[in-house]
Amino acid sequence: MKKIILHLLLISVLLGGCKKLDGPDHSTLTTSAVLNTSRDLDNLLYGAYSALANDNALSGYWRVFPEILADHVELNVTENLPADPYRQLYDRNMALAQYAQSWKLGYTAIQNTNLVIYAIENNIVTKEKDPEFTDLNKSRLEGESRFLRALSYFEMIRFYGHQYGHNSSSANSGIILRTKPAINITSIDELKNESRAAVEAVYQQIITDLKAAQTLIPVGNDLSRRGRASNYAAAAVLARVYFQMNDYQNALTEINKVIGSIPGTIQTYPLARIPLTGTINAAQAAANVLAAFNTSGAGTGLATENIFDFVSVVSAPVNGAISRKYLRTVAVEPHLSISSAFLADAAFGTTDARRVGLITTAGAKNYSRKYDRLLLNVPVIRSAELILDRAEINAMNAVSNPAAHAAALADLNVLRDRAIPGYVPATTVTVNATVVLAEVRKERVRELAFEGDRLHNLRRMRANINAGSRLGALPLPWNSNQLLFKIPDAEITASPNVLQNPD
């Protein structure tokens, strides 16, 4: 029987966190001792989901870091504790801003998904061993694994690599590309030959995985599987990837797969709007814009605009870190407040519920209310983002294409209609395509505020990263090395071929 030696991270996650290992495990295990059934593979997937839903990953710091490093939040000094992991990041002191746990969790998810794919490709789990390992179940397991692996790589490459298109083919410009599990390792020296792939190679792997996930995961807008990947989620994340790459035609194709191809409408994952038609009042507008951030659990009746989210239940909340950063209570001030730069860039109308209902003022400071619950599902991607992407793509073509102009305006109106009481569809922006594009980008600031979009979007547009509320600080260019996270020292020490990001 084939013998394998599994990496420490795999073992710890496979065992569901019940056993904490503090050093490399060099014991030899048979495959039958680790993987027998589809449920074993599902346990690995649960470990991958849990790694990404961790406070230090996609339900927490990976959403907070892009805001802290940009210009729309400021540290609430009275609540900033010495142990908080972002003081150096806010000061843009990247030499000290190392987040080893975030790096580890990303590669934990990748290791687990790699093993699931390996087990399927090498017939380690078969129908003969497990009758539940049907073709449909096999396809789902591989599809979800490819989705999670792609999601992990995409989030990490945006922190540790430059914006796509800037020296993307250069050697060592990306991160370590691991597409095989750490098995059959007889010596730690075998892991020391790894090096960083090019940004281009990482993006191509992400695209390959997300395309495969769409065909492998069973088709359907399956809201009963909250917190698990769907083929729609794979298409939505692929749209985000293409949009980040400035590959707008491919982004538009993926967007239309998810929400339909008619501007001004959303076929699946509709935005919350009560009432469905007619005029809305202030209370209804506030409920509409809070809907995506106002649910918990995996039951029915949850926010329909959340294409993929991480689920919180009382026994396993996933919003601890992000709520602590933003949630204000009578007894506790949040770690982050809203900068004056955000309010200037958003330029809200006086009745816009995203200003009235999603921002609270206390003293001289403003705070976000998006995460204003003790227990909430954390949205990873929602249909509002796809509407904004499509509106911007069309707005960029509006100068020479009247149909694109009208399409951009139709999608712009959809977002405003559910957020602004008594909203009348825009007419003033129809006369100038340049103004339409500016309005769409302003709408993005309003709608996606504090969701981890700000830094990545500025880099996509190759715009300066302004100082925000940092006194005496200068803007950073979009391709500054000062925006690159440092690879943890432990990884550099363990793998001499892994080069550190420059200062």
DSSP notation for 234-247: HHHHHHHHHHHTT-
- CA count, 13 A, side-chain hemisphere, 368: 30
Proportion of the chain above pLDDT 90, given as a percent = 73
pLDDT digits (tens, 9 = 90+) for 346-361: 999 999 999 999 999 9
Cβ neighbours of residue 236 closer than 8 Å, sequence gap 6 or more:
254, 255, 258, 307, 308, 381, 386
- Angle at which helix 248-259 crosses helix 231-244, to 10 degrees, equals 160
Average pLDDT, the chain: 88
Contact 251, 330 (CB under 8 A): no
3 state SS of 195: coil
Structural domain includes residue 40:
yes
> Can you list the residues of the chain whose pLDDT is less than 70?
1-33, 77-83, 85, 184-192, 220-225, 300-301, 427-431
Q: What is the C-alpha separation between 498 and 94, in angstroms, rounded?
A: 18
- Euclidean distance between CA atoms 486 and 503, whole angstroms: 9
The pLDDT of residue 429 is 66
Domain extent at residue 50: 3-56+99-218+482-494
3-class DSSP state for residue 27? Answer: coil
Helices (H), 347-488: 353-356, 383-396, 402-419, 433-447, 454-460
Q: How far is it, in rounded angstroms, from Cα 61 to Cα 378?
A: 12
Q: Which residues contact 107 (CB under 8 A, 6 or more apart)?
A: 9, 152, 176, 178
**3-state secondary structure labels for all residues of 250-304:** HHHHHHHHHHCCCCCCCCCCCCCCCCCCCCCCHHHHHHHHHHHHCCCCCCCCCCC
Check residue 279 and give left, alpha or beta (phi > 0: left; psi -120 to 50: alpha).
beta
Nearest 5°: the CA angle 220, 384, 413 is 120
Q: What is the pLDDT of residues 18-66, one digit of tens each?
A: 333 333 333 344 555 578 899 999 999 999 999 999 999 999 999 999 9
In a domain, 486, yes or no: yes
CATH number at residue 150: 1.25.40.390
180: DSSP letter? S
Q: What is the sign of the dihedral through the CA atoms of 460, 463, 468 and 472? A: positive
The pLDDT value recorded for residue 3 is: 39
In a domain, 111, yes or no: yes
Structure token digits, residue 376: 């909430």
Does any domain span residue 10?
yes
Domain count, the chain: 1
The dihedral sign for the CA sequence 254, 46, 138, 113: positive
Rounded Cα–Cα distance for residues 492 and 487 (Å) = 7
Q: What is the residue whose two structure tokens read 């390792």?
A: 185
Name the pTM for this structure.
0.93
> Per the domain annotation, does 380 fall within a domain?
no
Residue 138, domain member (yes or no)? yes
- Domain assignment of residue 146, yes or no: yes
pLDDT value for 174: 96
Is residue 336 classed as helix, strand or coil in its secondary structure?
Answer: strand
Residue 135 lies inside a defined structural domain of this protein:
yes
